[in-house]
Structure 1
């Protein structure tokens, strides 16, 4: 079951809501709805699922509906229609007390403007949410201490926000949100006001903190580079509607339409595409079963001079050349004894890191998974093709 699930979620601002909803049912464009009813569609029939422990990024241009959508999740904005499920329970049907409990215990939100209290120290700001919950002072102080240490802020605990840089203040805001260990963290363009270097540091910190604590994070951004860097999956919005959901690789390689394609034009694919995206199927020999005659026949059939060697479970073992297969036959020794080394890369290795390796390697690279099982091979021509500019890539596709 998804941690968060939206079904036909819609938000309409203004009058003539019923007429606007009928036009949405008929799939009328947002602009037509505004012209005919005077109502503005903030979110247009949104459907998505966010998995537990996932960093899910929602992005789009200004006015696309992304900030409205995240505020619907904790009902800072009330939905016009549709359902918002948290662990299978519909938040949109909760009363005020139930909703208050969800906001205090299950969801925290980090805003772009930090929202720190200037008269409170870093420690006091961090424990504020726990104080609102009525948690005893000693217990909330202990939890705030853990959050500050996780965020590398412990030495600043007695300072005030005015004594900190923008990046440090944002870090305090993040620590405060994490202090009560929420199951879901909502972040609305939380890093967009920071300068590039601090922003990158905060992205790294978010990834590290999420890995430690395992929260489900829903992150709003207008920056695709940021989305690709931190997101497990990305949803792209336009005119209040979700136009595509997928991994960064999905969106770069298979954009749903021209709007999505426009987002990807200036992206450095070498920083996003991985070995798994550009590998080709391997030609293999199973050294636990095959003898030299079988291996040589495979080479003749495929018109190649060598094969990648694996065992019965497809664990990578090395490279078998035609010359060594002949040696195995002539000397009556098993194929496993005549294998040579072959460089490997993990399937998640970025293309930018593969380039140097493939240029320095006289042979293809074996692509392996976490268990050292062979999943593909990288050849130099395919790597060069993947490095081509976007125009060339689109032409080839």
Structure 2
């Protein structure tokens, strides 16, 4: 299982890029550099993608997300900073060694399908293995298995122009899977697809991830897609990462007004979970609610609760029980023990406007939460 780390990555285009990095580190703005004919595409980007995670980088066009992705596999050399994969510093490798790592350990799925029109679906899926020098019989076997994983069994002998856009993207995904690379980099891979096909591809990716547990970095400008796919999400603006957190972190405690503006059109009821909004039992059943008079023990809560749900239950499923009872919904952990409750007032509150981080930290009745780490339009809300 392979871990990816980006450490203080900068990418500057133009004259004297090293000097530009020093100026940025000293507090200079991108606008000041631009006046000198220099563009800072990525500024001091740091993050860690744990093995088996889907890490989504989200931002508007020009925010630096695709440039960041290309530094992760060495297609672009960072002006400053390091990329480590499996504890190996990719930025210190020779061109030959870097090509070897890319061929063996890293696969990329592009927005445009990049299929060879003169090769069959099977031959396209096997192309990465051909580059690796794998014998024909083995690469065809592995490519066939990858196409089946991607839902294209029976289409091996077809030509790319005989496939729909969604099916062509599945071939691109199969080509990445066939190499059995540990790291998948996906650059706006579904954005050229129609909405229904796009959702099917998201479902396919999530299903594959359950089975294969790859380490994935996924680039998108679509917030709903980011929240549906990402174990963690990095929001970029003007080359900088302005917040890293789960979908719930970003919805409930956006780092600033810029992040909050992205979340206003998101269906919070389908993204947030009971575990994200629950209050601890003592707080929720405090004297002010009057509930402590009748609910003194965990068993009392279980007996009175209109429903018992797990922490990962979407809050849309809490509407009915909360509307039919004054008692809070009980939230249980994997061992069946009570870990929190969702009072009706709390459910209604979180469906309102998102709170900035400093406001959320003082909200009454909230369970303690880890702090979230830390333009010209709005990210699209439809996936």
TM-score interval, normalised by the smaller of the two chains: 0.7 to 0.9
**Partner residue of 2:294 out of 295, 305, 316:** 305
Matches of 2:3 and 2:77, distance apart in 1: 20
Q: 1:30 aligned to 2:30? A: yes
Equivalence for 2:373: none
- The answer to whether the Cα contact below 8 Å between 2:306 and 2:322 also exists between their aligned partners in 1 is no
Q: Which moved more, 1:301-310 or 1:163-172?
A: 301-310
Matches of 1:259 and 1:174, distance apart in 2: 33
Task: Map residues 4-153 of structure 1 onto 2, 5 A cutoff.
Answer: 4-35=4-35, 37-153=36-152
Task: Map residues 217-232 of structure 1 onto 2, 5 A cutoff.
Answer: 217-232=216-231
Q: 1:387 aligned to 2:376? A: no
Shift of the alpha carbon at 1:304?
A: 2.1
Equivalence for 2:377: none
Shift of the alpha carbon at 1:307?
A: 3.8
Q: Cα 1:389–1:255, aligned 2, differ >3 Å: closer, same or farther?
A: closer
- The answer to whether the Cα contact below 8 Å between 2:106 and 2:182 also exists between their aligned partners in 1 is yes
Q: Cα 1:102–1:278, aligned 2, differ >3 Å: closer, same or farther?
A: same
Q: Which moved more, 1:376-385 or 1:160-169?
A: 376-385
Matches of 1:209 and 1:303, distance apart in 2: 46
- The answer to whether the Cα contact below 8 Å between 2:234 and 2:245 also exists between their aligned partners in 1 is yes
Matches of 1:347 and 1:76, distance apart in 2: 41
- The answer to whether the Cα contact below 8 Å between 1:270 and 1:351 also exists between their aligned partners in 2 is yes
Task: Map residues 213-252 of structure 1 onto 2, 5 A cutoff.
Answer: 213-252=212-251
**Partner residue of 2:310 out of 342, 346, 351:** 346
- The answer to whether the Cα contact below 8 Å between 2:150 and 2:204 also exists between their aligned partners in 1 is yes
User: Superposition RMSD on alpha carbons, in Å?
Assistant: 2.6
Equivalence for 1:368: 332
Shift of the alpha carbon at 1:306?
A: 2.6
**Partner residue of 2:341 out of 367, 377, 381:** 377
Superposed CA offset, 1:147-170 (max 9, x none): 111111011111111001001101
- The answer to whether the Cα contact below 8 Å between 2:149 and 2:208 also exists between their aligned partners in 1 is yes
Matches of 1:269 and 1:317, distance apart in 2: 26
- The answer to whether the Cα contact below 8 Å between 2:146 and 2:175 also exists between their aligned partners in 1 is yes
Unpaired segments ≥5 residues, structure 1? 285-297, 311-315, 322-340
The structure with the largest alpha-carbon Rg is 1
Shift of the alpha carbon at 1:394?
A: 11
- The answer to whether the Cα contact below 8 Å between 1:2 and 1:49 also exists between their aligned partners in 2 is no
Matched residue of 1:156: which SS? coil
- The answer to whether the Cα contact below 8 Å between 2:306 and 2:321 also exists between their aligned partners in 1 is no
Superposed CA offset, 1:28-60 (max 9, x none): 11111111x311111111111111100000011
Shift of the alpha carbon at 1:369?
A: 1.6
Structure with the greater relative contact order (CA < 8 A, sep ≥ 6): 1 or 2?
2
Matches of 2:104 and 2:171, distance apart in 1: 19
Superposed CA offset, 1:365-388 (max 9, x none): 210122212111122222122223
Superposed CA offset, 1:186-215 (max 9, x none): 000000000110011101111111111110
Equivalence for 1:3: 3
Q: Cα 1:391–1:17, aligned 2, differ >3 Å: closer, same or farther?
A: closer
Matches of 1:265 and 1:46, distance apart in 2: 26
Matched residue of 2:298: which SS? strand
Shift of the alpha carbon at 1:283?
A: 4.9
Equivalence for 2:163: 164
Shift of the alpha carbon at 1:267?
A: 1.4
Q: Structure 1: which 4+ aligned runs deviate by more than 6 Å?
A: 391-396
- The answer to whether the Cα contact below 8 Å between 1:283 and 1:308 also exists between their aligned partners in 2 is no
Matches of 1:2 and 1:254, distance apart in 2: 30
Task: State the TM-score, normalized to the length of structure 2.
Answer: 0.87
- The answer to whether the Cα contact below 8 Å between 1:6 and 1:85 also exists between their aligned partners in 2 is yes
Superposed CA offset, 1:14-37 (max 9, x none): 1122331221111211111111x3
Matched residue of 1:155: which SS? coil
Shift of the alpha carbon at 1:362?
A: 5.9
Matched residue of 1:117: which SS? coil
Shift of the alpha carbon at 1:92?
A: 0.4
Q: How many residues align?
A: 358
